[in-house]
């Protein structure tokens, strides 16, 4: 028989194993305005793009501190195919600190729209977001300050 004191942690563990996915919808209305929403568009909309995003499960090999930081302040690296050495330097900086990140390549118009919502125009890659903070372009000092401010370790 399971003791009531053990039931709550076991239940929390079971609930945390399920990762909710979110669908994002993009559509253009009759006036030509582009809309993004987590709710489906009105029924009269004919052209619709829906993307389903799911948070990756936490990496069990990471320390508790890194798992907590990546949950609270996820790191996203925005890149492009023509980024070359700058993008490689950006990846190297994050890798040298052992920071888990998601790379978001700007491959199509929808990706550019997502970038512009976050950073504005003009596009400049590589760019970095750490939680709600961001920095456009690659400048190691500024990137390190962003990462340090939220508590990411300086070495793996």
Cβ burial 7-43 (10 Å sphere, 16+ → b, else e):
eeeeeeeeeeeeeeeeeebbbeeeeeeeeeeeeebee
Q: What is the pLDDT of residue 116?
A: 93
pLDDT given for residue 56 in this prediction? 61
pLDDT at 83: 92
Architecture, CATH, for domain 58-156: 3-Layer(aba) Sandwich (3.40)
The token pair at 51 is 């993307």
Tens-of-pLDDT digits for all 156 residues of the chain?
555 554 444 444 444 444 445 677 787 888 888 887 777 788 787 777 766 665 566 678 889 999 999 999 999 999 999 999 999 999 999 999 999 999 999 999 999 999 999 999 899 999 999 999 999 999 999 999 999 999 999 998
Calculated CA dihedral for residues 17, 75, 122, 87, nearest 10 degrees? -120
pLDDT at residue number 58: 67
Distance CA 101, CA 62 (A): 13
CA distances from 79 to 37, 85, 113 (A): 24, 11, 14
User: Where are the chain's structural domains?
Assistant: 21-54, 58-156
């Amino acid at each position: 028989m399971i003791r009531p004191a053990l039931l709550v942690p076991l239940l929390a563990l079971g609930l945390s194993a399920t990762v909710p996915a979110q669908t994002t919808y993009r559509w253009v209305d009759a006036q030509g305005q582009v809309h993004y929403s987590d709710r489906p568009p009105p029924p009269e909309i004919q052209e619709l793009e829906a993307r389903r995003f799911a948070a990756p499960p936490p990496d069990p090999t990471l320390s508790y501190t890194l798992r907590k930081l990546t949950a609270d302040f996820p790191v996203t690296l925005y890149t492009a195919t023509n980024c070359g050495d700058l993008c490689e330097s950006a990846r190297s900086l994050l890798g040298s600190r052992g920071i888990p990140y998601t790379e978001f390549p700007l491959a199509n118009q929808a990706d550019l729209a997502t970038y512009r919502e976050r950073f504005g125009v003009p596009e400049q890659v590589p760019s970095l977001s750490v939680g709600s903070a961001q920095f456009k372009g690659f400048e190691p000092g500024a990137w390190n300050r962003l990462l340090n401010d939220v508590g990411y370790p300086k070495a793996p």
